[in-house]
Structure 1
Amino acid sequence: MSENPIAGPLSADELDIWAPVATLLERLPTALDAQLQRDSGLTHFEHGILYALDSAPDRTLRLSILAGYASCTLSRLSRAVSRLEAKGWVRRATDPTDGRFTLGILTPSGHDKVAESTPAHHALVRELVFESLTAAQRRQLRMISQRISAAIGPDESWRPPTLERP
Structure 2
Amino acid sequence: MAAMNAVNWLSEEEQRVWRRFLAVNSLLQERLDRDLQRRDGLTLVEYAILVHLSEAEGQRMRMRSLADTVIVSKSRLSHQVARLERDGYVRRESCVEDRRGFWAVLTEEGAKVLRAAAPGHVAQVREHLFDRLTEEQVARFGEIMAVLESGLRDTPAD
Query: If the length of structure 1 is used for normalisation, what is the TM-score?
Result: 0.86
Partner Cα separation in structure 1 for residue 22 and residue 78 of structure 2: 28
Bigger radius of gyration, 1 or 2? 2
Higher relative contact order at CA 8 Å, sep ≥6: structure 1 or structure 2?
A: 1
Query: What is the SS of the residue equivalent to 2:23?
Result: helix
Judged with a 3 Å threshold, the aligned counterparts in structure 2 of structure 1 residues 35 and 6 are, in CA distance, closer, same or farther, namely farther
Pairs within 5 Å for 1:75-86: 75-86=75-86
Partner Cα separation in structure 1 for residue 75 and residue 109 of structure 2: 24
Partner Cα separation in structure 2 for residue 40 and residue 14 of structure 1: 38
Query: What is the SS of the residue equivalent to 1:61?
Result: strand
Whether 1:131 aligns to 2:117 is no
- Report the Cα offset of residue 8 of structure 1: 4.0
Segments of 5+ residues of structure 2 without an aligned counterpart are none
Segments of 5+ residues of structure 1 without an aligned counterpart are 156-166
Partner Cα separation in structure 2 for residue 140 and residue 6 of structure 1: 33
Structure 1 runs (4+) greater than 3 angstroms displaced: none
Query: What is the SS of the residue equivalent to 1:131?
Result: helix
Identity percentage of aligned residues: 32
Q: What is aligned with 1:57? A: 57
Whether 1:32 aligns to 2:36 is no
Query: What is the SS of the residue equivalent to 2:30?
Result: helix
Q: What is aligned with 2:12? A: 12
Amino acid at match of 2:22: A
Deviating more after overlay: 50-59 vs 95-104: 95-104
Partner Cα separation in structure 2 for residue 64 and residue 128 of structure 1: 31
Partner Cα separation in structure 1 for residue 81 and residue 21 of structure 2: 30
Q: What is aligned with 1:158? A: none
Q: What is aligned with 2:117? A: 117
Judged with a 3 Å threshold, the aligned counterparts in structure 2 of structure 1 residues 125 and 85 are, in CA distance, closer, same or farther, namely same
> How many pairs align?
152
Cα-Cα RMSD: 1.8
Judged with a 3 Å threshold, the aligned counterparts in structure 2 of structure 1 residues 6 and 89 are, in CA distance, closer, same or farther, namely farther
Partner Cα separation in structure 1 for residue 43 and residue 9 of structure 2: 35
Partner Cα separation in structure 2 for residue 36 and residue 143 of structure 1: 28
Partner Cα separation in structure 2 for residue 6 and residue 96 of structure 1: 53
Partner Cα separation in structure 1 for residue 69 and residue 13 of structure 2: 33
Q: What is aligned with 2:71? A: 71
Q: What is aligned with 1:106? A: 106
- Report the Cα offset of residue 98 of structure 1: 3.1
Partner Cα separation in structure 2 for residue 84 and residue 7 of structure 1: 45
Partner Cα separation in structure 2 for residue 154 and residue 89 of structure 1: 33
Q: What is aligned with 1:143? A: 143
Partner Cα separation in structure 2 for residue 68 and residue 111 of structure 1: 21
